[in-house]
């Protein structure tokens, strides 16, 4: 949904945010948004890496069983 905004839409959103929050609050809001986004990315990477490790652990016993049979 956000991929259809484009440059004019982003400029309009920035102008509206500037009117609503004022120029002194925008850097604060940007920093908070950046921190939130980086925490979200870190948590997502942690979840993905945990699930990858779980899959590897499940595959190892199955591979060992196949090697013993062969």
Map out the domains of the chain as residue ranges.
Answer: 2-69
At 44 the pLDDT is: 87
Q: What is the pLDDT of residue 2?
A: 52
String of DSSP letters for 8-65: HHHHHHHHHHHHHH-TTTHHHHHHHHHHHHHHHHHHHHHHHHHHHHHHHHHHHHHHHH
Give residue 45's pLDDT.
87
pLDDT 10s digits, 5-62: 788 998 999 899 889 989 899 889 889 999 999 999 988 888 877 766 666 666 666 5
Q: Give pLDDT, residue 12.
A: 93
pLDDT for the residue 36: 94
Residue 1 has pLDDT above 90, yes or no: no
């Amino acid at each position: 949904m956000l991929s259809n905004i484009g440059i004019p839409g982003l400029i309009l959103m920035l102008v509206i945010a500037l009117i609503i929050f004022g120029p002194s609050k925008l850097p604060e809001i940007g920093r908070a948004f950046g921190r939130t986004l980086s925490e979200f990315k870190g948590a997502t990477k942690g979840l993905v890496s945990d699930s990858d490790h779980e899959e590897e652990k499940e595959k190892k016993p199955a591979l060992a069983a196949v090697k013993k049979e062969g």
